[in-house]
């Protein structure tokens, strides 16, 4: 049985088919609601049910609490309507006209940049390009019908090859293939672009803090390269700071690239942070948790935007501490949660 959904404040109306979630129906009909993991673990798609009832579906209770449900909140990637609905959420116009495609691509290059991180360069068929916003991801389609999600690390203006940063997780079906069997010229298929992790509009004097853990650097690399490329022709440049956290020095697998951005752009600062530096690292830089390094440097984040990408624990701690102790407005925190494919196959993989 189908149901109608009225989206506020836009006034858009969509029809949900039997078996569809609210998000699935919105994407099918061309309405861009915020989303990330599409499996109820990240909370990006959270919105309010103003009228009507839903089946909440399967989701993490940490992501949607009992109090939030009682207050009318739902995760639109999991919830399906039981009646006609009126919902409240902020649609994202920037991705409205971007086509989601299913395409084959060929492995062009494999670079082992750390003991457990592979950078994969994928080449699309001749005359094909993928339009995407910096920060979005694609789903690699496996032969068994499962998907593995990886952020695009290249910027849209540099789209001859699609770049993925893949960490080797024991037991990960795709990652074990990447590290043990994948060869140049192999063919893989994907669907994308997906996700709503991208740079939002803000006053030019509003500073941005990027927060990455591990291969959460990938989408932030895409965003930063795009912004720095655009700002080469602008007189006004927003202040940007990247805090990149990892365990050891080797885990900062493209630290030299971030250093080069800092040398070339006066409005950009790079702060690497190690949680468990090794004696051979000879590390003299910042140590500890990466989000706590931000708090040490900024007591008041009231006029900042935060873009955070990485493991769930880091994202959760950063959001809670920044909004509770540093005056960060809740609507100024944007995140992309990376979940290992061994535990959650359809989440963006780190």
Tell me the CATH number at 272: 3.40.50.80
Structurally, the chain folds into a number of domains equal to: 3
Among the candidates 91, 118, 135, a domain finishes at: 91
Number of Cβ within a 10 Å radius of residue 137: 28
- Among 56, 91, 126, residue at a domain's last position: 91
Model pLDDT, residue 201: 81
**Helix (H) or strand (E) segment spanning residue 260:** helix 255-264
CATH number at residue 153: 2.40.30.10
Residue 299 maps to a domain = yes
Last residue in a domain, options 57, 91, 125: 91
pLDDT at 345 over 50: no
pTM of the model: 0.86
| Nearest-5° Cα angle at 241, 273 to 233 | 145
Residue 317: is its pLDDT beyond 60? yes
Q: How confident is the model at residue 233 (pLDDT cuts 50, 70, 90)?
A: low
Q: pLDDT band for 183, please (50, 70, 90 cuts).
A: very high
Rounded Cα distance, 99 and 31, in Å: 12
For 75, the enclosing helix (H) or strand (E) is strand 73-75
Residues 65, 110: one domain?
A: no
In whole angstroms, what separates CA 304 from the centre of its chain? 19
Q: Domain of residue 147: give its range.
A: 101-194
pLDDT tens-place string over residues 93-124: 788 778 899 999 999 999 999 999 999 999 99
82 with 118, same domain: the answer is no
Buried (b) or exposed (e) across 1-19, using 16+ Cβ within 10 A? Answer: eebebbbeeeeeebebeee
Are residues 229 and 255 both part of a single domain?
Answer: yes
User: Looking at the structure, do residues 247 and 276 belong to the same domain, yes or no?
Assistant: yes
- Asked if 161 and 255 sit in the same domain, the reply is no
- The answer to whether position 346 is within a domain reads no
Q: How far is residue 123 from each of residues 83, 104, 159, 187, 215, measured CA to CA in Å?
A: 45, 9, 9, 10, 21
Distance CA 350, CA 345 (A): 12
- Is the model's pLDDT at 126 over the cut of 50? yes
Look up the CATH number of the domain holding residue 32.
Answer: 3.10.20.30
Residue 340: pLDDT band (50, 70, 90) is: low
Q: How high is the pLDDT of residue 172?
A: 83
Domain match, 291 and 330 both: yes
212 and 301 assigned to the same domain: yes
pLDDT surpassing 60 at residue 350: no
Model confidence at 348, pLDDT cuts 50, 70, 90, reads: low
Give, in degrees to the nearest 5, the angle at Cα 255 between 254 and 259. 125
The stretch 318-338 carries a mean pLDDT of 94
pLDDT, tens digit, for every residue of 67-87? 999 999 999 999 999 999 999
**How many Å apart are CA 193 and CA 187, to the nearest integer?**
18
Please, which pLDDT band fits residue 136 given cuts at 50, 70 and 90? very high
Q: Render pLDDT for 251-307 as a digit per residue (tens, 0 to 9).
A: 999 999 999 999 999 999 999 999 999 999 999 999 999 999 999 999 999 999 999
In a domain, 344, yes or no: no
Q: What are phi and psi of 22, to 5 degrees?
A: -60, -45
């Amino acid at each position: 049985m189908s149901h109608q959904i009225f989206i506020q404040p836009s006034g858009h109306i969509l029809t949900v088919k039997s078996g569809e979630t609210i998000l699935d129906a919105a994407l099918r009909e061309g309405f861009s609601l915020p989303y990330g993991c599409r499996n109820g673990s990240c909370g990006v798609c959270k919105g309010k049910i103003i009228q009507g009832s839903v089946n909440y579906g399967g989701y993490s209770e940490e992501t949607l609490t009992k109090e939030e449900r009682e207050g009318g909140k739902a995760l639109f990637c999991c919830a399906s309507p039981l009646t006609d609905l009126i919902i409240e959420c902020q649609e994202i116009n920037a991705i409205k006209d971007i086509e989601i495609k299913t395409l084959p691509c060929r492995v062009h290059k494999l670079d082992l940049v750390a003991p457990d991180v592979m950078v994969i360069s994928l080449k699309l068929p001749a005359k094909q390009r993928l339009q995407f916003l910096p920060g979005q991801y694609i789903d690699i389609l496996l032969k068994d019908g499962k998907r593995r999600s990886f952020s695009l690390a290249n910027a849209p203006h540099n789209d001859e090859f699609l770049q993925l940063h893949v960490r080797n997780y024991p037991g990960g079906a795709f990652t074990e293939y990447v590290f043990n069997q994948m060869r140049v010229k192999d063919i893989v298929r994907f669907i994308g672009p997906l996700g709503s992790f991208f740079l939002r509009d803000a006053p030019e004097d509003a500073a941005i803090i990027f927060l990455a853990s591990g291969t959460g650097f990938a989408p932030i690399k895409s965003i930063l390269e795009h912004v720095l490329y655009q700002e080469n022709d602008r007189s006004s440049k927003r202040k940007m700071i990247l805090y990149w956290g990892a365990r050891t020095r080797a885990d900062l697998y493209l630290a030299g690239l971030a250093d080069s951005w800092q040398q070339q752009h006066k409005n950009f600062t790079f702060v690497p942070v190690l949680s468990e530096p090794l004696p051979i690292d000879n590390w003299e830089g910042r140590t500890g948790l990466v989000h706590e390094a931000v708090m040490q440097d900024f007591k008041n984040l009231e006029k900042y935007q935060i873009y955070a990408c990485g493991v769930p624990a880091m994202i959760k701690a950063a959001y809670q501490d920044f909004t509770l102790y540093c005056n960060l407005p809740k609507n100024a925190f944007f995140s992309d949660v990376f979940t290992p494919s061994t535990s959650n196959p359809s989440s963006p993989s780190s």
